[in-house]
Structure 1
Amino acid sequence: MSEKQNVEASGLNRAKPYQLVLFPLNNGATNVYYVLVLSYIATFGSNVLALGLMFASIMVTAMRLCDAITDPIIGALIDRTNGKFGKFRPFMVIGNLVMAVSIILLYIVTPYIPADMMPLRYVVFVLLYFVWVIGYTFQTSCTRSGQTVLTNDPKQRPLFTIFNTVGSLVGMGVMQFVAPILRANVADYSSADFYRVLTPIGVVISIVLTLLAVIGIWEKDQSKYFGVGGEKQKKVKVSEYIEIIKNNKPMQRLMIAGAGCKLALSIATNTTVLCMLYGCMMGNYDSLYLPMMILGYAASVPFFLLTVRTSQKKGQKASLVRYVSVALVCYVGVLALLLLWNPSNGMNLIFPSVNVYTILFIICFGVGYGAYYATADMPIPMVADCSDYETYRSGKYIPGIMGTLFSLVDKLVSSLAATVVGIAVGVIGLSNLPTADTPYAPGMNWVVIVLFCLIPMIAWAVTLIAMKGYSLTGDRMKEIQEVNAKRKEAIAEGMSLEEAMEKYK
């Protein structure tokens, strides 16, 4: 029997190589805005629009709290959508267009509002940011929920992690490389000119990545791939979601683990934190930022390969736990080095020349960053496992609500990062968020130690605790996929969902 026949006989839905490569670019498209908005929105509001520092920082979190209402609604809309253009493609396209229009108006138009009309600046800032959040929810939820139709092969699904990370790098990495170049050649982060140039670049990149992602999922965005019921799939009532969330224990634990991974990434890569570390403390932002970022990305490459290999052999849970543990151990070294920091006795980063301190920092930071960056997005493909488990448990196919639940956690945590940074900076008496050219102020080293090391380490510890009771191991997912495949085949032959659920357990 050929490989194709084996796949058909087992009921596996496998993706073509180009689909595995292109669809994860949807994550890259949204991560363009992750950098463009979440890394700079507080600085833009505080330094360009002259809004209060605490207002600009806390507003990021406040807006995400609004998603506690909008996320489940959008998730339900996705689950109930099955039109001519599929379930996911409409939300990907509409979401991207909404983000593009809102962020252009926010970053390019609002600075033209006169300073003596400050109340109008506050109102427009809040409204445009809220509209952007809606578009972000539309598109990010599709990255998580769309995996369920792309592939359910336990050997193939872990590959989504590496392509998802590559897609993220294409979007996030390009923006992170372009931003400091613009800062050095166009204007500083606190200037409106910086945002007038960066915004169109980000919008164009995001639109191109979205179109490629739509091509990637086009063939799979059909009802025959929607759960075990296919075209006969029953629509889930909104009132049923609470029961689903309550009983899907793996999803609960994954949300906690995902929050831990996201919080670590969001705070440790926050632009203000890196400005304080490489600029204010080490005194050489322009020579340190790009090299250290390149070091981290380069170090993550072998970990990407290791995570996929481990996931295929032992399951995604085992891979996540192993490499988050590596990051946690390495950051103990980073913490020790930052505690020893003292430029007067040579305990300082020096680049391109090196000293013992620099070598140790490169080793600890490089390995630690590589490990946690490779695992930062790993919970995303695990959402598909939780969705398949829900189909196995209840017979319901609800990738939309699963995706938006996880998206909600993603956004709450990433926005919390901006608030935490703003509060920490305010504690040491600064009225504006530091930039690369801000002189060192007493207490900055402790802010960096807490934000760059301690909070991520605590977040990783929480991730490890949550994963301890996560039941969807590699072997367990193989069993679940086999049962779902048998139920789907039985329903296609005329058996009711209830009968198939009863017969195949």
Structure 2
Amino acid sequence: MDKTVEQRTADVTYNRAKLWQIILFAMNNTSTNIYLVAFSFVTYFSTGVLGLAVLFVSQLMGYIRIFDGFIDPAIGVLIDKTDTRFGKYRPILVLGNIITALSFVLLFNIHHFGSAMTMPLFILALIVHKIGYSMQQTVTKAGQTALTNDPKQRPMFNVVDGIMSAILFSGSQIVISSFLVPKHGGFTESFFTELMIGVIVISAILAVLSVVGIWQKDNKKFFGLGEEKTQKTSLKDYWKVIKGNRPLQVLSISAAFVKFIAQLFLDSVVIVMLFGVLFGNYALSGAISGMMIIPNILIIVAAASIARKKGLRRAYVVSLQIGIVAMLLLGVLLHFGDSGSLDLVNWNLYSLAFVVLYALRYFATAPSSLVLTMGADISDYETSVSGRYVSGMIGTIFSLTDSIASSFAPMVVGFVLAGIGFAKEYPTAETPLTPALKGAIIALLVLIPTVMLVISLVLMKFYQLDQVAMAQVQEKIHVMKAAKDEERVKAIAKNVPLSDMDYVDVTQYGVEE
């Protein structure tokens, strides 16, 4: 008779983390995301301060993200092969943060080197930035396998990360639109100098805290099958993992579409078009961002609650379903929007409906947070079927597909705007609203994201790591760790499918009951 999830959980000795460790390590994602926020304004720096053409910049930013995607697997191999007295993850995290900080120092000082050096230094700064960012960001995904493997505890990372991300993304928009832009008179040179310094300092502090969070768990005994039984992995084995791991293939592609949507929602040009052009008041973006902090946190908590009770897969699918409905309703509302429609002083029915639907829209991007933890599930699944521990490579496969998909976000924005006559410069808050601009806003904020959400939802039909499957994975890893020698570990990995865990007498493989 099949065991229940509760029975399987009771059979396994889990590696659990303390709450403060989860909280501190989650800060690594915030440490990298703050660069993501600042990076969304690089388009204004490149066109306004450096004088580069809009269409060229939008395409270059896309190509750089594609480059980022292709260097990610190399970074994954680097992490998997790293074994120092300071651990596997901490050295990569610190080095990545330092490289990223140096890239920003170069990027926002290019104009001091003369016009002849503008283009080569701009490309160089973008490349260096992507290398550093990828190194630190990959640790967020890969390090979770060491932090905890308890299916009830892993979603707690999503709660903490979701809260911090909500505060970061909403808070940064408030600071930028209500403080920095008015203080510096727009996206000026002084604006970017202050932005650069603030981002580097805050990111570094968060990186140090995340190092403290992973410090104790950055040890071989907490990941894979332990130091002695984890199978050695050569470069040719990585292709076997990519080719044979169906959950990795499906989720990485599905998550890439979600990442594309999140990138569109964060795009500074799209935000300016929505609040500055459609509603006629860019400062509203800061006010709305402040109002969205609590709803965003509640949605993240709701998704994590579903994950703890029903599994991460169920939470992912439900979030997509709600997101699709919310996006379609928001599209109808934007169709009837105009300058003055959104009034947060003298509230009206339109304003109330917009705030509600704009909040529910966060369900569309909630899977981005869940994927951080689901990647750890896939890493554990790979360990259970092959005995290999390749969390770094698996983490960077997600980064690869994310980068390729999100690279199309600035490209799509550039193409859509070029199609309606904005090939040389982006719309600003002073640009008058036209039917073409309204159509572009709806296309970028609703139509394109909805199509991506539907595709992502269809792909999840082929993702089988639900709550029951993950309980089987952890049970099998528990058995493999208990095996007497390396050959028996290989035999269990090869000969005991997850679906047969109830029926196979594992004592024949040298496992003591």
TM-score scaled to structure 2, two decimals?
Answer: 0.91
Change (3 A) 1:499 1:294: same
CA offsets 1:181-239 (integer angstroms, 9 cap, x no match): 200112312x1111011110000010000001000000000111230143443331112
Contact map agreement 2:279 2:337 (CA 8 A) in 1 = no
In structure 1, the residue matched to 2:216 is 219
Matched, 1:85 2:86: yes
In structure 1, the residue matched to 2:511 is none
Contact map agreement 1:7 1:13 (CA 8 A) in 2 = no
Change (3 A) 1:40 1:202: same
Q: Which moved more, 1:414-423 or 1:87-96?
A: 414-423
Q: Which moved more, 1:413-422 or 1:386-395?
A: 413-422
Change (3 A) 1:453 1:7: closer
In structure 2, the residue matched to 1:475 is 468
Q: Using the TM superposition, give the Cα deviation of residue 7 of structure 1 relative to its aligned residue in structure 2, in angstroms.
A: 8.8
In structure 2, the residue matched to 1:398 is 390
Selected match of 1:485 from 478, 490, 493: 478
Distance 1:339 1:101 in 2: 44
Selected match of 2:443 from 424, 443, 450: 450
CA offsets 1:380-432 (integer angstroms, 9 cap, x no match): 11001111111111111000000111112222233321121122222211221
In structure 2, the residue matched to 1:314 is 310
Q: Using the TM superposition, give the Cα deviation of residue 342 of structure 1 relative to its aligned residue in structure 2, in angstroms.
A: 4.4
**What is the letter of the counterpart of residue 467 of structure 1?**
M
In structure 1, the residue matched to 2:184 is 186
Q: Which moved more, 1:323-332 or 1:371-380?
A: 371-380
Contact map agreement 1:13 1:150 (CA 8 A) in 2 = yes
**What is the letter of the counterpart of residue 249 of structure 2?**
Q
SS at match of 1:24: helix
In structure 2, the residue matched to 1:275 is 272
Q: How does 1:9-20 map to 2 (within 5 A)?
A: 10-20=12-22
Selected match of 2:427 from 434, 451, 460: 434
Distance 1:441 1:18 in 2: 51
Matched, 1:372 2:374: no
Contact map agreement 2:64 2:127 (CA 8 A) in 1 = yes
Q: Using the TM superposition, give the Cα deviation of residue 72 of structure 1 relative to its aligned residue in structure 2, in angstroms.
A: 1.1
Distance 2:324 2:36 in 1: 24
In structure 2, the residue matched to 1:410 is 402
After superposition, the CA RMSD in angstroms is 2.0
Matched, 1:360 2:353: yes
Distance 1:333 1:174 in 2: 26
Contact map agreement 2:229 2:481 (CA 8 A) in 1 = no
Matched, 1:23 2:25: yes
Q: How does 1:236-251 map to 2 (within 5 A)?
A: 236-251=233-248
Distance 1:490 1:8 in 2: 19
In structure 2, the residue matched to 1:112 is 112
Matched, 1:326 2:322: yes
Q: Using the TM superposition, give the Cα deviation of residue 503 of structure 1 relative to its aligned residue in structure 2, in angstroms.
A: 6.7
Q: Using the TM superposition, give the Cα deviation of residue 497 of structure 1 relative to its aligned residue in structure 2, in angstroms.
A: 2.9
Q: Using the TM superposition, give the Cα deviation of residue 355 of structure 1 relative to its aligned residue in structure 2, in angstroms.
A: 2.3
CA offsets 1:7-35 (integer angstroms, 9 cap, x no match): 99723111111111110110000001101
Moved segments of 4+, more than 4 Å: 6-9, 493-496, 502-505
In structure 1, the residue matched to 2:36 is 34
In structure 2, the residue matched to 1:127 is 124
In structure 2, the residue matched to 1:382 is 374
Q: Using the TM superposition, give the Cα deviation of residue 349 of structure 1 relative to its aligned residue in structure 2, in angstroms.
A: 1.6
SS at match of 2:483: helix
For structure 1, the 5+ residue unaligned runs are: 1-5
Selected match of 2:411 from 412, 419, 426: 419
**What is the letter of the counterpart of residue 30 of structure 1?**
T
Change (3 A) 1:502 1:279: closer
**What is the letter of the counterpart of residue 72 of structure 2?**
D
For structure 2, the 5+ residue unaligned runs are: 1-7, 498-513
Q: Using the TM superposition, give the Cα deviation of residue 496 of structure 1 relative to its aligned residue in structure 2, in angstroms.
A: 4.4
Distance 2:47 2:143 in 1: 37
Contact map agreement 2:250 2:463 (CA 8 A) in 1 = yes
SS at match of 2:463: coil
In structure 1, the residue matched to 2:504 is none
Distance 1:455 1:158 in 2: 29
**What is the letter of the counterpart of residue 17 of structure 1?**
L
Distance 1:253 1:332 in 2: 25
Q: Using the TM superposition, give the Cα deviation of residue 350 of structure 1 relative to its aligned residue in structure 2, in angstroms.
A: 2.1
SS at match of 1:230: coil
Contact map agreement 1:80 1:235 (CA 8 A) in 2 = no
Distance 1:212 1:481 in 2: 29
Q: How does 1:129-278 map to 2 (within 5 A)?
A: 129-180=126-177, 181-189=179-187, 191-278=188-275
Number of residue pairs the alignment of both structures matches: 488
SS at match of 1:456: helix
Q: Using the TM superposition, give the Cα deviation of residue 136 of structure 1 relative to its aligned residue in structure 2, in angstroms.
A: 0.7
Distance 1:318 1:167 in 2: 23
Q: Using the TM superposition, give the Cα deviation of residue 495 of structure 1 relative to its aligned residue in structure 2, in angstroms.
A: 5.8
Distance 1:374 1:72 in 2: 25
Contact map agreement 1:68 1:408 (CA 8 A) in 2 = yes
Change (3 A) 1:42 1:366: same
In structure 2, the residue matched to 1:3 is none
Change (3 A) 1:97 1:174: farther
